[in-house]
Amino acid sequence: MEDFLKAVANLGFPIAVATYLLIRIEGKLDNLSSSINQLATILSIKLGANDGNK
């Protein structure tokens, strides 16, 4: 039982930090994904407009 408590104490902090970072970075990844999709749309519109001028 004592070994189990030591393992929880030693692993609890890294697990908590990893969980916090994953939750925090998830929102940033969603924003990044949205920005990349918007960029792709804008580029396809701009490049499509340039193809019509040739």
Task: Take residue 46 and report the two structure tokens written for it.
Answer: 């701009």
Task: Take residue 5 and report the two structure tokens written for it.
Answer: 């408590």
DSSP conformation class of 53: T
* Structure confidence at residue 6 as a pLDDT band (50, 70, 90): confident
Domain locations in the chain as residue ranges: 22-49
**CA torsion 10→15→16→21, rounded to 10°?**
140
Q: Using one digit for the tens of pLDDT, what is the confidence trace for 13-35?
A: 888 899 999 999 999 999 999 99
- CA dist list (Å): 34 to 15, 30, 39, 48: 29, 6, 9, 21
